[in-house]
Amino acid sequence: MLLDRIATEIQQSGPLFFDRFMELALYDPDGGFFGSGDLRSHRGGDFLTSPEVSPLFGATLARFAAAERDRIGGLDAVVDCGAGSGSLLAGLVADLPGVTAVAVEVSPAARAAITTRLPEITVVKDLAAVGRLPRGVIVANELADNLPAAVAVRTADGWEEEAVAIVGDRLGPVRVAARPEVAAWAERFAPGLPAGSRVEVQLGAAQWLRSALQTIAAGAVVMIDYGDTADGLRHRRAQGTVRTYRAHHLGPDPLL
């Protein structure tokens, strides 16, 4: 059971940084939220995304991709990362005849849903499998904020991290010294916060963006996600912004 494997890793190595915990909770092939189980992004699943609600989402991005094709003199492929059920991709390919489309999706259930819906589309497990594209458009709707993030907590004189430990007979949060790269990220993107503030440090999203930019020589990477400016997020820092969903309801505690 995944919870046992998480507990074993904590017993062997000490508290897990939140991004490591999130990686296991999301991607474990035997119990992870995306790595196993049913399709999550649809009405019968755990959350709904905008492309599920309207085909105009994909059609709008198709217009953008067509403009990129005209701008750079062709398109080798349009790539949808974290393609979910394929709703966005369906709208994209319908309005981009002749353009090769690729879905990147970590979830086996989502990959199966895409293949059933769009049998002509190539579906791969990660962006590295796409290879280098001289001319490409990469889209990612609601991917970046799924990628593992560390949680930094502001102290009177610097930063700590919130890690996951075994507290009593269940998982619980503990404070540990912040890794230098986590403290540097928090200080850079969320400076001047009062002690106790929580900052999600999205090293995974930054790494993904670097990989996406390295995948194409010309074209564009389009990321669409929830977010705010540093100022806009200030009032949410006391609670932090980590959220979980099950059956379309907000979870009470990410560690559950």
Ligand X SMILES: C[S@@+](CC[C@H](N)C(=O)[O-])C[C@H]1O[C@@H](n2cnc3c(N)ncnc32)[C@H](O)[C@@H]1O
Binding mask 4-43 for ligand X (x = CB under 6 A): ------------------------------x------x--
Site size for ligand X, by CB under 6 A? 22
Helices (H), 106-245: 108-117, 180-189, 203-215, 230-233
Q: Is 41 exposed, middle or buried (0-12, 13-18, 19+ CB in 10 A)?
A: buried
Q: How far is the CB of 82 from ligand X (least distance, A)?
A: 3
Applying CB under 6 A, which of residues 19, 62, 107, 144 lies at the interface with ligand X? Answer: 107
**Nearest alpha-carbon partner for 138 in 80, 58, 188, 196:** 80
Q: How far is the CB of 246 from ligand X (least distance, A)?
A: 14
Applying CB under 6 A, which of residues 19, 142, 161, 200 lies at the interface with ligand X? Answer: 142
Stretch that binds ligand X, among 2-10, 46-54, 59-67, 93-101 (CB under 6 A): 46-54
Applying CB under 6 A, which of residues 15, 32, 45, 51 lies at the interface with ligand X? Answer: 51
Q: Which residue, 19 or 105, is less far from ligand X as judged by CB?
A: 105
Q: Which residue, 60 or 176, is less far from ligand X as judged by CB?
A: 60
Stretch that binds ligand X, among 135-143, 193-201, 213-221, 238-246 (CB under 6 A): 135-143
Stretch that binds ligand X, among 58-66, 76-84, 95-103, 247-255 (CB under 6 A): 76-84
Applying CB under 6 A, which of residues 6, 15, 17, 87 lies at the interface with ligand X? Answer: 87
105 binds ligand X (CB under 6 A): yes
And the tokens for 95?
Answer: 């309005």
103 binds ligand X (CB under 6 A): no
Applying CB under 6 A, which of residues 15, 32, 58, 82 lies at the interface with ligand X? Answer: 82
CB-based contacts of 199, cutoff 8 Å, min separation 6: 151, 152, 153, 154, 186, 189, 190, 193, 237, 240
Other Cβ atoms less than 10 A from the Cβ of 125: the count is 12
| Burial annotation 165-199 (CB, 10 A radius, 16+ → b, else e) | eeeeeebebbeeebbeebbebbbeebeebeeebbb
**DSSP reduced 3-state for 176:** strand
Give 3-state DSSP helix, strand, coil % of the chain, rounded to 5: 40, 25, 35
Residue type, 69: R
Looking from the CA of 41 toward its CB, the CA atoms found within 13 Å total: 24
92 binds ligand X (CB under 6 A): no
Binding site for ligand X (CB under 6 A): 34, 41, 49, 51-52, 81-84, 87-88, 104-107, 110, 126, 141-143, 146-147
